[in-house]
Structure 1
Amino acid sequence: MLRPRHWGGHLLLVVALVATTWLGFWQLSAWQHGREAEARDLSEAAPLALTDAMGPDDPFPGQYVGQPVELRGTWVPASTLYVADRLRDGERGYWVMTPVIVDGGDGSAVPVVRGWSPTADADTVAGDVELTGWLQPSEGTGLPDTDASDDVIPEMRVASVTQRVEADLYSGFVVARDASSGTDGLAGVTPGSIPEVSAVTSLRNLLYAVQWWVFGGFAVYVWWRWCRDTVEALEREQDPEDERVGSPA
């Protein structure tokens, strides 16, 4: 197996092991950074411009969970939705969510939680707005929407909002803290009343790391089988020659 004609197979194994090991550690690092980001409390940090924190086509930046952001834009009142089963002072009610077309966001919109209401009903809002709020990742616990025909959704899932908005959406949402319009008549939603980020938010990266290392182990197994089969094939080729050499003339 050390003959030059077999070097290509050995080299392929080395490349596969280096690639899968590096990719595994890269995903492991992403998982660790994600867990560290979730543990930080940024609710009192200085606000950043939303367009500086993330772009309209970017995945949600885990390091900015809870980060105050500032934005300007225009309300999209026709896409107002109500997020069910939200507690405030022990009372269940609804988050009132209306998207905002973000200035400087290439026409994309960000869902904005305007406040809390005891009923799935709120005053219509329209026009331009300037606001500061806390940036949050899309929720996704898998709760089903039992009635897709109404304006009530079970959780603040960006995918659910996408079906009601013609514009592209950011991959997160903003909980309004201060706004020039849209919050009148609604109770404020504070960081303490925002559900904690799911414990499995960054689990996907950890699973990807394990997956890459499994691929590396499979590459070793394939290489071992190839070596074994090659050696056995060579032995079968040599057996007839050995019999001829040992047979009487």
Structure 2
Amino acid sequence: MREIVTSLPGQRLGGRFWLITLAAVCGVVLTLALGRWQLGRAAQKEALQAAMAKQAALPALDGNQLFAHLPQDAQRARAQVEPLLYRSVVLTGRWLPAHTVYLDNRQMQGRPGFFVCTPLQLEPGGAVVLVQRGWVPRNFEARTQLPPVQTPAGWVRIEGRLAPPPSSLLEFGHSAAAPGSSPIRQNLDLAAFRSETGLPLADWTVLQTGPASEGLLRDWPPVALGIEKHYGYALQWFGLSGLIALLYVWFQIVRRFLRPRTQPAA
């Protein structure tokens, strides 16, 4: 005859139990740390977004005021311009259309086309800044044909905001054009472009704003920092941490009270 008895908690806690406990604790600690890290990244980007909004609300700088904020040394200027990114500027200069570049596979309003970038030689001091002038659709029947873009001669006055260099897209080695071989390019590296053209280009660019003109649209999308993505990742990590803890409690503790053990009767 056999009778059913319930094993008491704490009995027969062998090496397997402690190994599972250690793995569960490590899993909970790791996922909690990753969740907190994602919250920290979200907080950093929220602070960056607030700084960008603050810069955008400040009065526009002209060329003299802009370069008064920046030292002559290029390395120091690169570091010092970062707090000024997204600040509005009003610049006067002359276009250098011979060095215009068309960045391919760029979208605006859901349509593919080109971002048109032209260096602008500024009036004070002759400094040169790359201006992201706007977007133009491409001719898909003649992919090498340049779209019509008007570039005024003489002195021009543009409005815009300071911006980092154009973002880079995935580029395969065989598709990369040799420097200077074509104005149509997938990406543009400012340092390489500076060496190619011999122009004293600044390490930052200007994103031209305002209504459509010269055949270009300027409906620039807002800068996407992906803050919601970090909150979503944090929620996933915290959820996984809770799931690990719940499964551990159920299988390693609760079921020890509920699972019957059979022992032979005396």
TM range, smaller chain? 0.5 to 0.7
> How far apart, in 1, do the equivalents of 2:46 and 2:158 lie?
28
Following superposition, the deviation at residue 138 of structure 1 comes to 2.0
The amino acid of 2:128's aligned partner reads: A
Following superposition, the deviation at residue 87 of structure 1 comes to 1.1
The amino acid of 1:49's aligned partner reads: D
Query: Residue 78 of structure 1: SS of its match in structure 2?
Result: helix
Whether 2:158 is the aligned partner of 1:131: answer yes
Whether 2:112 is the aligned partner of 1:82: answer no
> How far apart, in 1, do the equivalents of 2:45 and 2:122 lie?
26
> Structure with the greater relative contact order (CA < 8 A, sep ≥ 6): 1 or 2?
2
Query: Residue 111 of structure 1: SS of its match in structure 2?
Result: strand
Note the 1:8-27 alignment, pairs <5 A. Answer: none
Following superposition, the deviation at residue 135 of structure 1 comes to 0.6
- Indicate the residue corresponding to 1:146 in structure 2: 176
The amino acid of 1:88's aligned partner reads: M
- Indicate the residue corresponding to 2:220 in structure 1: 190
- Contact 1:37–1:62 (CA<8 Å) still a contact in 2? no
Moved over 3 A (4+): 32-39, 42-45, 53-57, 139-145, 195-199
> How far apart, in 2, do the equivalents of 1:140 and 1:118 lie?
18
- Indicate the residue corresponding to 1:114 in structure 2: 133
Residues 116 and 73 of structure 1: is their aligned pair in 2 closer, same or farther, counting only changes over 3 Å? Answer: same
- Contact 1:34–1:62 (CA<8 Å) still a contact in 2? no
> How far apart, in 2, do the equivalents of 1:98 and 1:197 lie?
26
> How far apart, in 2, do the equivalents of 1:160 and 1:173 lie?
15
Query: Residue 134 of structure 2: SS of its match in structure 1?
Result: strand
Query: Residue 159 of structure 1: SS of its match in structure 2?
Result: helix
> How far apart, in 1, do the equivalents of 2:167 and 2:217 lie?
24
Residues 47 and 131 of structure 1: is their aligned pair in 2 closer, same or farther, counting only changes over 3 Å? Answer: same
Query: Residue 197 of structure 2: SS of its match in structure 1?
Result: coil
> How far apart, in 2, do the equivalents of 1:136 and 1:99 lie?
14
Whether 2:186 is the aligned partner of 1:173: answer no
The amino acid of 1:48's aligned partner reads: L
Following superposition, the deviation at residue 118 of structure 1 comes to 0.6
- Indicate the residue corresponding to 2:58 in structure 1: 45
Residues 140 and 159 of structure 1: is their aligned pair in 2 closer, same or farther, counting only changes over 3 Å? Answer: farther
Query: Residue 201 of structure 2: SS of its match in structure 1?
Result: coil
The amino acid of 1:46's aligned partner reads: P
Which residue of 78, 84, 89 maps to 1:59?
78
Which runs of 5 or more structure 2 residues have no equivalent in the other structure?
1-42, 139-145, 228-266
Following superposition, the deviation at residue 50 of structure 1 comes to 3.9
Percentage of pairs with the same residue: 24
Following superposition, the deviation at residue 191 of structure 1 comes to 4.9
RMSD between aligned alpha carbons?
A: 3.3
Larger Rg: 2
> How far apart, in 2, do the equivalents of 1:53 and 1:80 lie?
24
Query: Residue 170 of structure 1: SS of its match in structure 2?
Result: strand
> How far apart, in 1, do the equivalents of 2:137 and 2:201 lie?
27
The amino acid of 1:110's aligned partner reads: V
Q: TM (normalized to structure 1)?
A: 0.55
